[in-house]
Structure 1
Amino acid sequence: MAKEVKTNAMRILDKNKIPYELLSYECDEFIDGLHTAEKTGAPVEQSFKTLVAQGKSKAYYVFVVPIAEEVDLKLAAKVAGEKSIEMIHVKDITAVTGYVRGGCTPIGMKKQFPTFIQESAQKYDQIYVSGGRIGYTLKLSPQDLAGLVHAVFADFIVK
């Protein structure tokens, strides 16, 4: 069995002594969060995707969203303090975050962008987020995640 490769996100969690569990799955290319949850056995309602948006000011923002939900751009702009906000183009994900689509996590991006976690995450002791590469999912406390990335819990999903 090959030794698991530590991602930047995992190294940051280790350095900060934040407990997490790694779930890995076989996957060669991007699959959406619902399929990831299916492969890892993670509960859908506790599985979150990481999306990046850009405000009218040109600043970037990170939104940690339940995988079955969508960001309400008006609510997202409001929580970010922007006039308007839009999701960045898929082709820009790596340049902005340092991560590839499907492996994007709020932990250890190129820069620490203002981060918002959907408030429903607080209902759970553990949530699942990408581990920083395709095929890796991390299970950790939403409070630990929020503390690490200086995130704010807010409501910004489509109702």
Structure 2
Amino acid sequence: MTPAINLAKKKKVTHTVHQYEHDPRAESYGLEAVTLLGQDPEKVFKTLLFCLNGEAKNLAVAVIPVDKKLNLKMAAKAAKSKKAEMADPTIAQKVTGYVVGGISPLGQKKALPTFIHISAKEHDQICVSAGKRGLEIELAPDDLASLTRAQFMELAV
């Protein structure tokens, strides 16, 4: 079990865990999950960390569809900051307790401001990383928002 799955269980959130054999040569962790789980790419979301105003340890979380690219201007606006840039992967791993490619928005070591792409609201269920490469958790977008204290925002184009 991962902290993400444990949190969903503890809060009695309806969820499904999907597991697949991760290929270390995969170019995109998210698209690998889509392919191997036979999911719609619009329903599988990736977790990205970004830093605010050039401060490497001032982090926030974006949860966006795997087939989209994070718009850093939109991310900065969502976080009420002047500037956003992608977080250093080493710092992201330290702060969340998860490895890159397996970072879950759920059960992170430190609660960070979290923003979920508005398109998640179009689906009954979405998948996000469950905290390990090759492990996804499927749950209602509102449950994800509740567990992470997230806001739904436009984050990608």
TM class, shorter-length: over 0.9
> 2: CA distance between counterparts of 1:30 and 1:88?
22
* Alpha-carbon distance in structure 1 between the residues aligned to 2:136 and 2:8: 13
CA RMSD, Structure 1 to Structure 2 (Å): 1.3
Count of residue pairs brought into register by the alignment: 153
> What residue identity is the alignment partner of 2:103?
C
Q: Which residue of 1 aligns with 2:104?
A: 105
Farther-moved stretch of structure 1 (27-36 vs 129-138): 27-36
Whether 1:80 aligns to 2:79 is yes
- Counterpart position of 1:10: 5
Tell me, yes or no, if the aligned pair for 2:54 and 2:85 is still in contact at 8 Å: no
Give the structure with the higher percent strand: 2
Sequence identity percentage? 39
Q: Which residue of 2 aligns with 1:3?
A: none
Among 44, 49, 54, the alignment partner of 2:51 is 54
Match of 1:27 in 2: 22
SS at match of 2:12: coil
How many angstroms does 1:28 deviate by?
5.2
Distance 2:9 2:65 in 1: 25
**Deviation (angstroms), 1:91:** 3.0
Give the Cα separation in 2 of the matches to 1:51 and 1:123.
20
SS in 1 for 2:42: helix
Q: Give me the whole-angstrom Cα distance separating, in 2, the residues matched to 1:30 and 1:115.
A: 29
Name the residue aligned to 2:142: 143
Shift of 1:134: 0.9
Q: What letter is aligned with 1:51? A: L
The 3-state SS of whatever aligns with 1:125 is coil
Alpha-carbon displacement from aligned partner over 1:55-113 (angstroms, at most 9, x marks no partner) = 01732100001000011111110110011010112233211211001110100111010
Amino acid at match of 1:11: N
Q: Given the alignment, which residue of 28, 35, 41 partners 1:38?
A: 35
Equivalent position of 2:93 in the other structure: 94
Deviation at 1:23, TM superposition (A): 0.6
In structure 1, list runs of 5 or more residues that go unmatched. Answer: 1-5
TM-superposed CA distance for 1:43, in Å, is: 1.2
For 1:96, the aligned partner's letter is V
- Superposition TM-score, scaled by structure 2 size: 0.93
User: Secondary structure of 2:155's partner?
Assistant: coil
